[in-house]
Amino acid sequence: MVASAKVIKKIEATGPMRELMAAYFHELDAAASSGTAKVAWCTSVGPAELLRAMGFLVYFPENHGALLGSSRLASELIPAANAIGYSPDICSYLTSDVGSWLRKTTPLTKAFGLARVPKPDVLVYNTNQCRDVQDWFAFYHRELRVPLLGIQTPRSLGDLTSDHVASLVAQYRAMIPDLERVSGNSFDIDRLREVVASSYRCTQGWGRVLRSAMHRPSPLTFFDGTIHMGPAVVLRGDERAVRYYEILGREMEERIRAGVGAVDGEKHRLYWEGMPVWGKLREHAELLGARGACVVASTYCNSWVFEPLSEPDPFVGMARAYAELFIVRDEAFKERYLERMARDFQVDGFVYHDAKTCPNNSNNRYGMPVRLAQRLGVPYIVIHGDLNDLRLYSEEQACTQLEALIEQL
Amino acid sequence: MAQASPSKADESPPRALYCGVDVGASATKVVLIDRDARVVGRSVRPSGVDYRATARRCLEEAREAGKTDLPVGRTVSTGYGRTNVEFADRSVTEIHCHGVACFHLVGGPATLVDIGGQDNKVIRIDGTGRRVDFKMNRKCAAGTGAFLEEIAVRLDLPVGALDALAASTQEAARLSSFCTVFAKTEILAHLRAGVKVESIVRGAFVSVVTRVLEMAPLEGRVVLTGGVVAYNPTIAALLSVKIGTEVVVPPYAQFSGALGAALLAREPAA
């Protein structure tokens, strides 16, 4: 591999981000240990704002899944979940997280000094991304005997109708009595408005960071984005996340002013469709960076921008935000979205990651790459792998394809 | 492009050779060409476990085969072990090399199918030799040389005996599984049912062709390369029937990647 560690350019805001993430996990750990605050586990694109407004500290198993993948613990832990009946073909976030629970090991120990994941008082899922999250949380419901609540979001949506929104709003509202009971706090609509407004400011800040990659050379890569989206995932609705993206945004603006690209001598601009291969982030970043290729945009990172949170009614805002995002939409919407992104970010090539255990994040399976390549004249490759299960990933085949795409450009 | 003459910037000795090394999953191939892109010598041997040593040995054998002691001006390596060739001036992917070799051989637009020991590739090139797109097989080795090796083991046959057996019958036993291991299980069922070995081998060849056809549409002039085809011409015949058009199997089909690498070595240094 023609690469060196120098290919990856350090973002100075990484330090403040790590401090923020450490504070977030330590607060959760302290709350779970002492009972001073209630802990809710929530799906990443779920009703986190509602939970925060009710006074919960919110923990996200999907974030833990990503940490299990990037630390490469996942491949050791997935077999434990397989052994108790969770198929190797289902979500490897789920299987690695369940394996982590069964084996009583977590990357949070090495990264943040936590002895264990913070135990929940309530589990709240949203099926907008997939059905697996429901089964994932149901495992912990059975293990820990804590309440399990959920939002059922329709999938493959074209346009979101008022009926869809009304149904989702009703589901959010129906959760409130249970959440009041678990939290011991009364629901306060003004507090929810504050949290949703903060969440919107966070999403705006993250969106500005992502849009900075429209510049040539791009000041950040997809691989940077997968790390720096952490606060937008776990601290949406907390003002510290808003402040963090102001810091990161300034650094991106400074890079643009100074003409500094995330990849030296940026020659090629790529779009990454699908999940990252978490255990191979560095390898992919180095391989592409060494060849002057910058992944300037991705569905994965760019999905975390929720414009509808600006709605006057916070319930409507949440309902729309979490039902209008890319993964919930139909094929026609997704195709238009990718086409627009390719044009906005001046993309030269597409990398589709077909993640074996994550069909909902693998958008190459119904002919879209061929259709877009024909329409846009932009070449593509499909890498067969997985988000967490490296048993499903062939390094040689993936790297050869990435190199060959760059050669073709 | 591949057919261009070396430029004045080329600092190689006037009668230098250009070397392409393709360290594949199963076999390592070396091709030596002269300034006019004529093949001077070539060699193939199992890649083994020490890619560096195999590449060096292959180069020596190619020299011996070509009865030449001319210096090598430049070397390009390709294939899975491309970064292990210590005497290479640069390495490029086999996708690129196959495309270059294909255009050199046919001089026009083509769809190249390379059936290798571990993976298959479908590469489309346009009338200028530019690669339009490419596809590789998915991770499973079904449809590759490794598949046929496994089938040979199951049937207790040397791999070299497969082609003659497949050509000796028109009956092909059905092997429908994507998975090599499952296909071997299907073979057990055929053996139990008394199906003739030659029909099973032909069925395995049909399976290879079917896996290739699932990768991408084969349009225009179809060129077939790789060790599997070089040693099993019946596969080319079966593919030709399936797609209803003639399939071009170039001379030295197994050396396509190495030839492409040698042609790239002949180009002026970047």
- Interval A118-150: pLDDT, tens: 999 999 999 999 999 999 999 999 999 999 999
CB contact A394 to B (< 8 Å):
yes
CB contact B119 to A (< 8 Å):
yes
Q: Taking residues B145-153, report their average pLDDT.
A: 90
Show residues of chain B in contact with A367, CB under 8 Å. none
Subunit contact A373:B139, Cβ cutoff 8 A = no
Strand-pair partners of B75: B19
Interface with chain B: mutation pick from A356, A382, A394, highest number of B CBs within 10 Å: A394
Q: What angle do CA A31, A35, A38 make, to 5 degrees?
A: 70
- Interval B172-221: pLDDT, tens: 999 877 778 888 888 999 999 999 999 999 999 999 999 899 899 998 99
Interface with chain B: mutation pick from A89, A283, A407, highest number of B CBs within 10 Å: A407
Subunit contact B93:A407, Cβ cutoff 8 A = yes
Rounded to an integer, what distance in angstroms lies between the CA atom of residue B208 and that of residue B205?
5
Rounded to an integer, what distance in angstroms lies between the CA atom of residue B156 and that of residue B159?
9
Subunit contact A394:B139, Cβ cutoff 8 A = yes
Radius of gyration of chain A (CA): 20
Query: Who among B83, B134, B138 is closest to A384 (CB)?
Result: B138
With beta carbons less than 8 A apart as the criterion, state whether B64 and B75 touch.
no
Strand-pair partners of B28: B23, B45
With beta carbons less than 8 A apart as the criterion, state whether B195 and B174 touch.
no
Helix (H) or strand (E) run with residue A223 in it: helix A222-228
Buried b (16+ CB within 10 A) or exposed e, A317-338: bbbbbbbbbbbbbeeebbbebb
Interface with chain B: mutation pick from A376, A390, A396, highest number of B CBs within 10 Å: A396
Two tokens at B7? Answer: 């430029």
Strand-pair partners of B41: B32
Q: Taking residues A27-50, report their average pLDDT.
A: 94
- Nearest-Cα distance to chain B for A366, in Å, is 14
Find tokens 């004529």 and name the residue: B38
Whole-Å CA distances, A282 to A14, A48, A109, A285, A336: 15, 30, 22, 5, 30
Helix (H) or strand (E) run with residue A122 in it: strand A122-126
Show residues of chain A in contact with B179, CB under 8 Å. none
Show residues of chain A in contact with B122, CB under 8 Å. none
Band (pLDDT 50/70/90 cuts) for residue B137 is confident
Tell me how crowded residue B270 is: count the other CB atoms within 10 A of its CB: 5
List the A268-273 sheet strands across, edge first: A293-298, A268-273, A349-355, A380-385
Residue A239's contacts (CB-CB under 8 Å, 6 or more residues apart) are: A198, A201
Band (pLDDT 50/70/90 cuts) for residue B117 is confident
Show residues of chain A in contact with B83, CB under 8 Å. 1-2
The model's pTM is 0.89
CB contact B131 to A (< 8 Å):
yes
- Interval B157-168: pLDDT, tens: 999 999 999 999
Two tokens at A404? Answer: 């060959």
HSE on the CB side for A212, CA within 13 Å? 27
For every residue of A350-405, DSSP letters joined together read EEEEEETT-GGG-TTTTSHHHHHHHHH---EEEEEE-SS-GGG--HHHHHHHHHHH
Q: Is A4 helix (H, G, I), strand (E, B) or coil?
A: coil
Q: Looking at this protein, which amino acid is placed at residue A172?
A: Y
- Interval B78-111: pLDDT, tens: 999 999 999 999 999 999 999 999 999 999 999 9
CB contact A384 to B (< 8 Å):
yes
- Interval A152-199: pLDDT, tens: 999 999 999 999 999 999 999 999 999 999 999 999 999 999 999 999
Nearest to A256 by CA among A208, A215, A297, A316: A215
Subunit contact B83:A1, Cβ cutoff 8 A = yes
pLDDT score of A347: 97
With beta carbons less than 8 A apart as the criterion, state whether B243 and B222 touch.
yes
Tell me how crowded residue A251 is: count the other CB atoms within 10 A of its CB: 20
Subunit contact B119:A407, Cβ cutoff 8 A = no
- Interval B220-254: pLDDT, tens: 999 999 999 999 999 999 999 999 999 999 988 99
Band (pLDDT 50/70/90 cuts) for residue B48 is very high
CB contact B93 to A (< 8 Å):
yes
